[in-house]
Amino acid sequence: MSNNYFNTLPLREQLEQLGKCRFMSIEEFSDGVEALKGKKMVVIGCGAQGLAQGMNLRDSGCDVSYALREAAIAEKRQSWKNATENGFVVGTYEELIPTADVVLNLTPDKQHTPVVNAVMPLMKEGACLSYSHGFNIVEEGMKIREDLTVIMVAPKCPGSEVRNEYVRGFGVPTLIAVHEDNDPKGEGLALAKAYAAGTGGHKAGVLMSSFIAEVKSDLMGEQTILCGMLQTGSLLCFDKMVEEGIDPGYASKLIQYGWETVTEALKYGGVTNMLDRLSNPAKIKAFDLSEELKQIMRPLYNKHQDDIIDGTFSRTMMEDWANDDKNLLGWRAETAETAFEKTPAGDVEISEQEYFDNGILMVAMVKAGVELAFETMTAAGIIADSAYYESLHETPLIANTIARKKLYEMNATISDTAEYGCYLYNHACLPLLADFMKDIKTDVIGKGLELDDTGVDNARLIEVNAALRAHPVEAIGSVLRGHMADMKKIV
């Protein structure tokens, strides 16, 4: 069994690594792709992310080719087609890896161990191995040959967007890191910066982080607020509405598209703006519900973070991997059978505002989940910038997958680690919220408050508004959104 790398470090270093995260200024990228000039880059994996990054790097003047397994080439699989139709040189590991100065591992997490084991012996002395996720290094404890430089470059968007934004002359926010145990020549940062510039990421903002901070925050975000909370919330809200006699088609639509609509407000103006979209009485109601939710769920968030930090989570998950994903696949099938999943969205018109007005509980759940995830992460030593990106920033991206294809597809399409985490969360959270849900009525999910008089107590409203705005996720959020807006819309 593998050795958890994080657990081998002394506490002092664990804390230092968890706390790494800095928003880089665009001036730090003035050398562009210079550090990669004359170097041969070989990409492993030609899915959407692999193809998009390769095309961007090539268009920035880098020398890019694709190494695929012999079978993929012989059978002309999709990955082979993707690469050859776009005019790339394609070869086997044996042909290309020994010539590579930089090897870009863009395969799914689960394949990292076999892929890296196959690739490492073929790599030339002093070359660089790049990851887009640190799980293999941090959780599986993969040891990389001492002469090799190990870096991470992780665009925080799906592959299609990585390509589209580049073509427009822009890029997507990107996280970079250097694995300090593997930086023999001290060139890791220069290579990571050049790689980020080659994909256009420097124009949209780059976060300098560490392998450990990336993994521990990414895992926490994806299994709690991002996937876990939305999944659990969807099931609870749907069943409640149907139980209360609301038309199932309406309920299904309110949830499927509601997450996307309310988190769009979150994306633009944080939790504050999301709640500001509600009427005053509804805002106070949502605030109270979310306080209650936070109190109930806090131990669960703590447990998730603790299990992630000490490696319990990854160990359990890898045991399931070794057991042919029995737990995971079983649960995936169960999700497909839930009433929400099986009820198609009704042919009813729901206006943008109505998603807020009739989805007060959903707003409360998003607020509770975002704040709890953020609070738990920062309490564990993860810096606020990281915690913001892995909670609030990514919630709308996941909400968008639910709007497209509901939960089953969300789970089938997110990473294996995210899905396994979501499975754990959902199992624990459904019973945890059972009592809370008993008191829930259609005024907060399905119908709205339907008040004749929307008056509120001044003092209470001031209190709620102040509490919303004072939360630390709002402070860091307005700074980071400010950076992004500066870059994206100078116009």
Partner 1 sequence: MNIRLDNLTVNFDDRFQLDEINWQLDDSQHWVITGANGAGKSALAAILAGAGESVAGSITGLPAKVGLVSFEAQAELIERERKKDDADIMDVIAEGTPVHEILHEGSRNPALIQQLVSMFKLEPLLERAFRKLSTGESRKVMLIRALASEPELLVLDEPFDGLDAHTLEMLQQYLHGLVETVPMVLVLNRFDEFPDFITHIAYVDQARLQHQIDCNDQQAYNDLYQLLHLKTTDLQVPAADPDTAIPKLDPTQPLVQLNKINITYDGQRIIDSLDWTIQPNQHWQLSGPNGSGKTGLLSLITGDHPQCYVNDIFVFGFQRGNGESIWQIKQFIGYVSTALQWEYKVGTGLRNVIISGFYDSIGLYTKATDRQKKIADEWLALLGMTDRADTPFNKLSYGDQRLLLIARAMVKHPPLLILDEPCLGLDDMNRQLVLALIEKICAGSETSVLYVNHHAEDKINGIDNYLTLEKRESNNH
Site for partner 1 contains 135 (CB under 8 A): no
Closer to partner 1 by Cβ: residue 155 or 233: 155
Max distance between CA atoms of the chain, in angstroms, equals 75
Closer to partner 1 by Cβ: residue 432 or 487: 487
Nearest-5° Cα angle at 236, 389 to 266: 30
Active site residue 133: yes
Angle of helix 326-336 versus helix 312-322 axis, rounded to 10? 90
**Residue selected from 174, 182, 401, 426 as contacting partner 1 according to rule CB under 8 A:** 401
Closer to partner 1 by Cβ: residue 116 or 398: 398
What is the C-alpha R_g of the chain? Answer: 23
Q: Among residues 257, 241, 212, which one has the least CA distance to residue 403? A: 257
**Residue selected from 409, 449, 460, 483 as contacting partner 1 according to rule CB under 8 A:** 409
Site string for partner 1, 351-390 (x = CB under 8 A): ----------------------------------------
- Phi/psi zone of residue 53: left (φ > 0), alpha (ψ -120 to 50 degrees), beta? alpha
**Residue selected from 161, 183, 264, 354 as contacting partner 1 according to rule CB under 8 A:** 161
Positions in 163-182 near partner 1 (CB under 8 A): 167-170
C-alpha 294/C-alpha 139 separation (Å) is: 29
In DSSP notation, 360-381 reads: HHHHHHHHHHHHHHHHHHHHTT
Site string for partner 1, 94-113 (x = CB under 8 A): --------------x-----
C-alpha 151/C-alpha 298 separation (Å) is: 34
Site for partner 1 contains 60 (CB under 8 A): yes
**Residue selected from 10, 11, 87, 453 as contacting partner 1 according to rule CB under 8 A:** 87
- Binding-residue total with partner 1 (CB under 8 A): 42
Closer to partner 1 by Cβ: residue 15 or 167: 167
Catalytic residue of the set 112, 133, 202, 471:
133
Closer to partner 1 by Cβ: residue 117 or 413: 413
Of the candidate spans 85-93, 119-127, 307-315, 343-351, the one that interacts with partner 1 by CB under 8 A turns out to be: 85-93
Site for partner 1 contains 66 (CB under 8 A): no
3-state class of 90 per DSSP?
Answer: strand
How many Cβ atoms from other residues are within 10 Å of residue 383's Cβ?
A: 19
Site for partner 1 contains 1 (CB under 8 A): no
Q: How far is the CB of 386 from partner 1 (least distance, A)?
A: 23
By the 8 A CB rule, do 391 and 374 touch? yes
Q: How far is the CB of 490 from partner 1 (least distance, A)?
A: 5
Q: How far is the CB of 66 from partner 1 (least distance, A)?
A: 13
Of the candidate spans 5-13, 94-102, 323-331, 405-413, the one that interacts with partner 1 by CB under 8 A turns out to be: 405-413
How many Cβ atoms from other residues are within 10 Å of residue 349's Cβ?
A: 7
Q: Give the interface with partner 1 as residue ranges (CB under 8 A).
A: 33, 37-38, 47-49, 51, 55, 58-63, 78, 82, 85-88, 108, 157-161, 167-170, 203, 401, 404-405, 409, 413-414, 487-491
Catalytic residue positions, numbered: 133
